[in-house]
Amino acid sequence: MQTKRQFEIPDKPLSCKKDTSLSKEDLLRIYKFLKMTRMFDEITVRLKRQAKITGGVFSSLGQEATAVGTAYALQPQDFIAPLIRDIGACFVKGILPRHIFASYLGRSTSPNRATDLQFHFADLDKGFIGPISHLGDMVSVMAGVLLASRMRKEDRVAVAYLGEGATSTGAFHEGINFAAVQRLPLIVVVENNGYAYSTPTHKQCAAKNFVDKAIGYGILGLQVDGNDVIACYETMKTAVSYARSGNGTVLIEALTYRRKGHAEHDNQSYVPPGEIEWWAEHNDPIKRFELFLTEEKLATEKELQAIELEVSDYLEAELAIAEAAEPPDPITAAYEVFDNSIVPPAFKKKYLEK
């Protein structure tokens, strides 16, 4: 990650791209999604510290604009496979906070029925194919989704989100190479947030820019300021139009920054002193968008505060719904994981009685 992106003090506070096709209504909806993402993140950290969440919590602090901006450029029929940090993209696609809360809390109302303490679930009606832990693997999965769509003559693009570290995996290469050869309308969003767990970018890839990898696959490569939500939207809009028109696969590198550790247990001891503080002060995606909205007279500070309060009330209500649900019966841990004929002996009798 280039040092100039980390420590160069801007001459004036950073705002967002002024040239946009988005309406005022759309811009304020995007702001709501950004705040919802940040505040959801804060709530899950709180729940983790209260020991109400026993699984991992993976913060998106500082990189909310990439997920929200890119997902907002999609159509309802389009599919996404997000990363665990891409909560904002999930909200844009219509996934309810109560369902993600329920997954983290291990409640029976979780779409995955609490068989996993992350939001590893899918909602195909909403175009949502959930995240998995295996880095880079969803590129191949989304290529398969698009092959099926092509056979059905469906007008659909698909987006696979991954971190820059995942581009070093064989799964990434196999998937994107196949998609490129088949000219599938797949958009791969590489969220370059500076670190693959604790490994800085220059120690895991010799390329100056990850977007340069597109050349080797013969596909379109685009680079965007991942902390400018409008730029993310407009870049994705270009990519979607290109892919939907039959031109094939696109790779987008979004330059952003992860201001918290890989997960809540990670103390970020590998981060140079002052780096996190620089990004918080000079390149926060929500502050930049707030500055844009007020400078362009699209909203006053009071109106933005009202939106923040509305989002806060909504999330607390969604959390209350999730917390009120019962934990699942332990025996249901085998449901929809094993076929009846191969259920482990310890589960078999009760499982088959259901």
The three-state (H, E, C) secondary structure of 37-80, written as one string? HHHHHHHHHHHHHCCCCCCCCCCCCCCHHHHHHHHCCCCCCCEE
Task: Give the model confidence (pLDDT) of 138-176 as tens digits.
Answer: 999 999 999 999 999 999 999 999 999 999 999 999 999
pLDDT digits (tens, 9 = 90+) for 185-231: 999 999 999 999 999 999 989 988 999 999 999 999 999 999 999 99
Average pLDDT over residues 93-113: 93
What are the residues whose beta carbons fall under 8 Å from the beta carbon of 130, sequence distance 6 or more?
A: 81, 82, 119, 120, 121, 122
**Phi and psi angles of residue 188, each rounded to the nearest 5 degrees, phi first:** -105, 115
The residues, any chain, with a CB within 8 Å of residue 245's CB and separated by 6 or more, are: none
Higher pLDDT, 289 or 115: 289
pLDDT at 2 over 60: no
Instruction: With cut-offs at 50, 70 and 90, classify the pLDDT of residue 329.
Output: confident
What's the chain's average pLDDT? 92
Identify the bridge partners of residue 251 per DSSP, sorted by sequence position.
Answer: 188, 221
Q: Please give the model's pTM, rounded to 2 decimal places.
A: 0.92
Is-contact 124 158, C-beta < 8 A? no
pLDDT in tens, 26-58: 999 999 999 999 999 999 999 999 999 988 899
d(CA 127, CA 149): 12
Ordered by where they begin, the domains of the chain are 4-325 (3.40.50.970)
Average pLDDT over residues 66-81: 98
Cα 14 from Cα 278, distance rounded (Å): 13
